Structure 1
Amino acid sequence: MDNGDIAFVVLHLKINFILDYKIVDNVIYTPDIKQQPDARGIGWVYYESFLKHSDRIAQIDGLTGQEDTFGSLLERCVRTAIWLKTEGVQYGDIISVCTYNHLNSCVPHVSSMFIGAKIAALDPSMSLRDATYLFKMVMPKVIFVGEESVKLIEDVIQEVGSKTTIVVFGATKKHISFSELVKKSVDELNFKPTAARSINDIVAIMFSSGTTGLSKGICHTHFSILRPDTKTMYLAPTSAKMFSSDSPYWNIFLLILNHTIQSGVTQVVYPRFDPENPWAILNGKVTMAFLNISQLMMLCNTPKPDYIDTSALDMILTGGSPISEKQITKVRSQFPNALVRIIYGQTEVFESIFCLDWSNPKHLEIIEKKPNSCGLPKLGINYKIVDLETGKPLGANQKGELRVKTEMQLSGYYNMDSSGIWDEDGWLKTGDYGYYDEDCCFYISDRIKEMFKYQYWHIVPAVLESILMTHPAVSRAVVIGIPHEIDDNHPMAVVQLRKNANATELEIKKYLDDQVEDRQKLRGGVKFVKDFPITTSQKVNRWKLKQMILKNEI
């Protein structure tokens, strides 16, 4: 195609898909979403969805089997919203939550949206330093905490010197008990949500994973969250029972919450994923599970107990880091009756960024034939892959940085310079390295910040990690670049072995070196660790890990 020509690719003519898109100078454009968000804001949208689905099961406690309807959950959210207003929480104020997942974890989110406040969550596994850093960034008026987090938050408040009110999910003698908030009130009879003053006002502040530096507060508005309609979510059918264990801190918590409220889908809620007993989550109730690749590999590498019945599980979504075709094949062999889909997203965009629709037969063909593809262009999102050095848009099967332009993106960082988020043409720089093929199916290889150079070659850690993760003794593996005075960097593997498994450095090194090109070989060697430094979203803190290696602490 000559420069400046326009290629129109109509998918239903090519392979019977449903979405038209066009490519102009290697930039992929899709049609805009026709539906406009409700100007009253997210509080009203959620409130009316709760009423619509009031008799449906909203949540099931995965440990006890206790069921919670949308109607009963709405009652608790309304009563909490009324209490927040009596405490002086006003439109635009910030409230927070720090707890593991349970039937009331979502109440602060919904209640804040009902009164026009902002929500910003912390995680119980945070260190005092990290929790203090994020707390100071947002300074909430009220924070809802689990019993396990009370001491942490008390120490944070003392460190910061704030007057934040603590509400405890559980028993407390010192603070306010959540059970007191949700007692019946006459005010709830006339309750109505607060309408948004502007559809562009901030609703949620979600924090970046912090794998390569300090976390940033990513701001989403009524508009960015409500811009996609339920037809563009492509997560799960209404009949699904979705496994959920991510704490409110993680962006997937709000993504799933948004989908289940608007679509009337049931969540099966667990406090957390247990690496020592990974099969406990699949007890017959779950029909759809969102699991990261580390969790999936734990399931694949841990013998399934005889009492576990996975016959109800018909869909597995995975994301959070790149996954190889070999890993997908391993997951499929473990779960032969489940559809395995890769979901690619970023906290900066409030939706999955590509489309693979479980209800579209042609999309199912793509999932089968191209198992490690993240999907096709999606309504309301434009795409380009750019050269890392020049920023020039690249064509099919050429690797570079993915950049997107969409109305579902963040409005900026909270109280922080946001100028580096977009390029000079207003495209969001995802920081992810990948490509699209001749059918416009996208593939993500790695984070650019995690890549390094050996001589003049770009080394993509995820490619090497996916091979290492197939070794029967390996539980988790991370590849980093060790600085070298001549070659720039030498690849090093840092490996965590499975419980009761044994392997030598030479064995691991040979296993990888035999399967890769010369430039990808582990010239930096292999290190073994019992545990990795991790972020609150359970990702390896690569920056901290590399510093530990360079300081000979590992």
Structure 2
Amino acid sequence: MFKNPNYVYGPMDVLVPSSLQFGEFLLKRMIGCKGKTAFINATTEERTTYGEICQEGMNFAVSLVHLGLRKGQTVAICSENRSEYFKVVLGVICAGGIITTMNPAYVEDEIRHVMKITKPSFLVCSPNVYKEHSRTFKSLGHIKRIILVGNEKKTGTLSFTDITIPVNNDNDNEERVIVNDRITRNVRYEEFEPVDVKGQIDTAFILYSSGTTGLPKGVMLTHLNLIIMCSFASTLAEATTLTITPWFHAMGLVGKLIELAQNRTVLYLPKFEVDLYLKAIEKYKVQIIVVVPPVLVAVFKAPKKYDLSSVQYVYSGAAPLHKDTSDLVNNTFPNARMVLQGYGLTESTLAVSRAKPDVPQKAGSVGSLQPGLTVKVVDIKTRRPLGPKQTGEICIKGPTIMKGYVGIENKEVFDSEGFFHTGDVGYYDEDRDFFIVDRLKELIKYKGYQVAPAELEALLLKHEAVADAGVVGIPDVAAGEVPLAFVVTQPGKRVTEKELQQFVAERVSNPKHLRGGVRFISAIPKNPSGKILRKELRKMAKHAKSKL
């Protein structure tokens, strides 16, 4: 009956529509600006309008139902970022299906692992993915139909174009919409009704946890989870955004759905190339960039030859952004008003907290809670709720928290009060602003002290010869664990192991010294959202030491 003084409560007012069908919600948000550009491929300059997403999404939904998709069945999409992506997503959700997004870079074992979790009845994929994995896809008995996007046609597959684009657009008055599996006319918005769902409990998306510490798990997000996340008001709705985050990942997928609900124009690059990235900002006068910290570091260290004055806001997520990195923003983007950090998880339908535009930010803060959420920070050993500026595990509950993991009982990941245990370590201050320290499983235990790898990585990046860095703990008989740094050097720069150890030792307390040494490698292994794959670094740590 009484609020816990050590819990942090976000704003409680969250407006939701009477219908909790996410496809219907998104369609209503987009249909009013049919002529506006939704996406621009900065590599090819291909443009996709809101009207095209709505029209082809509705057409695809009707075709899917005609082909046998039933409410609650899963449709997988495995593709690089391309114009058809959100047409597929909208169509599946409107048809009452569950969309699951797969990393197109997966190898066979990874494909089989995630397919075993979701068992999709339909698969939508790009020609590149199909060429690489068609044999694997065809061996999976649960896949009834494979649909190819693009212009290529392959035996045993359906063409997204054939089942989505009418043979003759002049047939709008025909009663029959589909003949011989070909769509004959566009579905009209006024006649279209998405499949009814129970939005509070029915799953809309199954996404995969990033798998940085183990095999990915299937995260079930409901229609209500997504509606609430896409309903938060924005003062930047007219801005043009640039993103490179892959759309199979929550940061890319849900982030883009939020921007579609706000009717923004989104510029995207299928893959990151620093020169093309900066050129796109200049050419399209981008106002908002959404990045992960390694991208900012690469941009800061690139030659200054483009006009980047259009950038007003820099949104950073997926990994901690050190103060010294954020301080460099104005040197690169002269008119940037602020760097906005956020904190989120796939399990929370993206954002848990975020900084607000034009509100002064504290160094290192990831902002305040999103509406509807309650957070407690608990002692890692005793599980006792902690007060301000006390570091512990962050636990969350609220209407954007996932329904659960596929095949895992909720009691394993939620406590008796309904809080989800994130595995992230952080704290909040007297103003209820949050600060993230690191992942619980990634903390290095040195003689009882907890050392955060992210702090050491940010420090190493300050060295002029360091292009990228990753830190893990390695076993030590006396101390338990000691920090080992993997370092990528800047082209043309040289630095020794001893120099970097001394550089760190002069700037941090004794437990954080690089007693495990420094190893020089060509690239830090990361997942598509920019998070360091420490399990890969730990494997590398077992091999022979590198030499310059």
Same fold (TM over 0.5): yes
Deviates more, 1:524-533 or 1:185-194: 185-194
Q: Is the 8 A contact 1:278 1:298 kept in 2?
A: no
1:433 aligned residue (413, 425, 435): 425
* 1:139-218 matches, cutoff 5 A: 139-174=119-154, 175-184=157-166, 185-186=184-185, 188-189=187-188, 190-218=191-219
TM-superposed CA distance for 1:499, in Å, is 3.3
TM-superposed CA distance for 1:122, in Å, is 0.8
2:62 aligned residue (54, 79, 82): 82
Identity over aligned pairs, percent? 26
> Per-residue displacement from partner, 1:265-313 (whole Å, max 9, x unpaired)?
1111221222575534423322111100011111011113x2x221221
* 1:321-470 matches, cutoff 5 A: 321-338=319-336, 339-358=338-357, 361=358, 364-365=359-360, 367=361, 370-470=362-462
2:106 aligned residue (100, 112, 126): 126
DSSP 3-state at the match of 1:393: coil
* Alignment-mate amino acid for residue 162 of structure 2: E
Say if 1:30 and 1:316 are closer, same or farther in 2 by CA, change over 3 A: closer
Give the equivalent residue in structure 2 for 1:302.
302
Taking only aligned residues, the RMSD between alpha carbons, in angstroms, comes to 2.2
Say if 1:40 and 1:457 are closer, same or farther in 2 by CA, change over 3 A: closer
In structure 2, C-alpha distance between the alignment counterparts of 1:283 and 1:178, rounded to whole Å: 34
> Per-residue displacement from partner, 1:350-385 (whole Å, max 9, x unpaired)?
242124321xx5xx22x2xx1321112332111221
Q: Is the 8 A contact 1:125 1:536 kept in 2?
A: no
DSSP 3-state at the match of 2:205: strand
Give the equivalent residue in structure 2 for 1:20.
none
Q: Is the 8 A contact 1:97 1:248 kept in 2?
A: no
Q: Is the 8 A contact 2:525 2:536 kept in 1?
A: yes
Say if 1:537 and 1:152 are closer, same or farther in 2 by CA, change over 3 A: farther
Say if 1:85 and 1:553 are closer, same or farther in 2 by CA, change over 3 A: farther
Q: Give the paired residue count.
A: 523
Give the equivalent residue in structure 2 for 1:19.
none
Say if 1:355 and 1:323 are closer, same or farther in 2 by CA, change over 3 A: closer
Q: Is the 8 A contact 1:203 1:219 kept in 2?
A: yes
TM-superposed CA distance for 1:151, in Å, is 2.6
In structure 1, C-alpha distance between the alignment counterparts of 2:47 and 2:106, rounded to whole Å: 30
TM-superposed CA distance for 1:319, in Å, is 0.8
In structure 2, C-alpha distance between the alignment counterparts of 1:276 and 1:126, rounded to whole Å: 27
In structure 1, C-alpha distance between the alignment counterparts of 2:526 and 2:433, rounded to whole Å: 31
Give the equivalent residue in structure 1 for 2:8.
28
TM-superposed CA distance for 1:117, in Å, is 0.2
Residue 116 (structure 1) aligned with residue 108 (structure 2): no
> Per-residue displacement from partner, 1:42-61 (whole Å, max 9, x unpaired)?
12111211222223221222
Deviates more, 1:85-94 or 1:146-155: 146-155
Q: Is the 8 A contact 1:157 1:164 kept in 2?
A: no
In structure 1, C-alpha distance between the alignment counterparts of 2:66 and 2:491, rounded to whole Å: 52
TM-superposed CA distance for 1:402, in Å, is 1.3
List alignment gaps of at least 5 residues for structure 2: 167-183
Say if 1:126 and 1:351 are closer, same or farther in 2 by CA, change over 3 A: closer
Q: Is the 8 A contact 2:469 2:524 kept in 1?
A: no
In structure 2, C-alpha distance between the alignment counterparts of 1:117 and 1:500, rounded to whole Å: 53
* 1:477-516 matches, cutoff 5 A: 477-516=469-508
In structure 1, C-alpha distance between the alignment counterparts of 2:95 and 2:545, rounded to whole Å: 49
1:474 aligned residue (461, 466, 480): 466
Give the equivalent residue in structure 2 for 1:12.
none
> Per-residue displacement from partner, 1:2-26 (whole Å, max 9, x unpaired)?
xx9x8xxxxxxxxxxxxxxxx7331
Give the equivalent residue in structure 1 for 2:288.
288
DSSP 3-state at the match of 1:352: strand
Say if 1:179 and 1:288 are closer, same or farther in 2 by CA, change over 3 A: same
> Per-residue displacement from partner, 1:233-283 (whole Å, max 9, x unpaired)?
54x611111112222210012222321222111111221222575534423
Residue 313 (structure 1) aligned with residue 295 (structure 2): no
Q: Is the 8 A contact 1:284 1:312 kept in 2?
A: no
In structure 1, C-alpha distance between the alignment counterparts of 2:280 and 2:415, rounded to whole Å: 42
> Per-residue displacement from partner, 1:165-187 (whole Å, max 9, x unpaired)?
22222242413332222222336
* Alignment-mate amino acid for residue 238 of structure 1: A
> Per-residue displacement from partner, 1:406-464 (whole Å, max 9, x unpaired)?
11100000123443222232211111111112222211111111102100100111111
